[in-house]
């Protein structure tokens, strides 16, 4: 999404408010359209395993850190993963193999540009065509960044990723809520449900989830995003943080947990372009506060060239509480 979600999306499911109720007819139409789309037979079955890291919510839930974690896990198991993506926010119709030395986020989208530093990444409007290109280039396993509701390609393992703190919001489908499809419908097609967040958020999500996952036989995974130890001393550092991700507050909270002196923050829209004018304003605001500009890795790939040496990136990685269910699922695929 490029705009911030409305506050009523996060109201309790038992009391969603008048706006959600008024949107109910449109939500029903959206859910029906999604159901028709996902009911289509997959246009292609790849000759190698296909793993999808997708979501039921719109917006950011932690798919990119999940894809990076899957890359690292598969690589450690001696496999050669390639990633395919629609390249949200980019102009490329593809299939195109992303080259971080030649391409920019305006062409490929920010997430593929970031992911390409970890594994070969292909962008294109047709995910099946991207899969063919990846296979021809020597991929041993394909990771889909998003695409849970796309029937273009058969999925051998579907991982639904959810932000534990946000959960499934009010439980309603667009535009009355934050969901692409009803929770029960999504869970019926999922193999693993990965909730990402601290222990308190995990407990709240478990309580709100009820019987959705258990009833569908979905295996649970729990994880948290942790700052990568790079030798950077964040303790006491005066920072001005900005982020254009699903929930910018997550990045700000991570900096607080690291002991940074958070003197200013700016929450941007997800995937918001970082124009020179915007960056100049934030640079001036940071200077007035005596603070260092800091952003996420995903935002950093969208920085104008002249600002890349002025802004620090905060890298985070997904750490699973218990990776055994994931390892078992990978082994079942011969990975």
Known binding residues for ATP: 57-64
Element (H, E) at 299: helix 297-300
Pairing label, strands 121-123, 96-97 = antiparallel
Rounded CA gap, 83 and 146, in Å?
10
Rounded CA gap, 335 and 76, in Å?
11
Contact 209, 255 (CB under 8 A): no
User: Count of H helices and E strands in the chain?
Assistant: 13, 13
DSSP conformational letter for 316: E
Rounded CA gap, 255 and 295, in Å?
10
CB atoms within 10 A of CB 52: 28
| Residue 240 β-bridge partners | 264, 293
Annotated binding-site residues read 57-64
Grouping H, G, I as helix, E, B as strand and the rest as coil, residue 173 is strand
Query: What does the DSSP assignment read for 114-170?
Result: HHTTTS-EEE-S-HHHHHHHHHHTT-SEEEEES-TT-TTB--SEEEEEEETTTTTTT
Q: What are phi and psi of 96, to 5 degrees?
A: -135, 130
**Of 98, 81, 80, nearest in space to 90 by CA:** 98
């Amino acid at each position: 999404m490029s705009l911030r979600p409305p506050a009523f999306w996060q109201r309790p499911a038992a009391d969603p408010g008048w706006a959600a109720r008024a949107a109910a007819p449109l939500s029903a139409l959206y859910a029906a359209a999604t159901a028709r789309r996902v009911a289509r037979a997959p246009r292609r079955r790849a000759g190698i395993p296909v793993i999808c890291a997708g979501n039921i919510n719109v917006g950011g839930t932690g798919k990119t850190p999940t894809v990076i974690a899957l890359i690292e896990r598969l690589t450690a198991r001696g496999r050669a993963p390639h990633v395919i993506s629609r390249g949200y926010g980019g102009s490329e119709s593809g299939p195109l193999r992303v080259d971080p030395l030649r391409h920019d986020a305006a062409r490929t989208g920010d997430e593929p540009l970031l992911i390409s530093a970890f594994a070969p990444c292909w962008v294109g409007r047709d995910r099946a065509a991207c899969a063919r290109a990846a296979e021809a280039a020597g991929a041993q396993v394909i990771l889909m960044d998003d695409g849970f509701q796309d029937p273009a390609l058969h999925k051998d393992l579907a991982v639904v990723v959810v932000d534990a703190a946000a959960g499934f919001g009010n439980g309603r489908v667009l535009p009355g809520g934050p969901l692409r499809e009803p929770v029960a419908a999504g869970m019926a097609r999922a193999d693993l449900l990965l909730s990402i967040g601290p222990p308190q958020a995990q407990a709240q999500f478990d309580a709100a989830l009820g019987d959705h996952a258990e009833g569908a036989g979905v295996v649970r995974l729990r994880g948290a995003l942790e700052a990568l130890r790079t030798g950077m001393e964040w303790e006491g550092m005066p920072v001005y943080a900005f982020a254009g991700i699903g929930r910018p507050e997550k990045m700000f909270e991570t900096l607080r947990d690291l002991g940074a002196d958070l003197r200013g923050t700016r929450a941007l829209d997800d995937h918001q372009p970082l124009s020179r004018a915007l960056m100049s304003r934030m640079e001036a605001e940071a200077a007035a506060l005596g603070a260092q500009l800091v952003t996420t890795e995903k935002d950093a790939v969208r920085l104008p060239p002249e600002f890349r040496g002025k802004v620090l990136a905060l890298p985070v990685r997904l750490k699973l509480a218990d990776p055994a269910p994931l390892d078992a699922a990978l082994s079942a695929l011969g990975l």
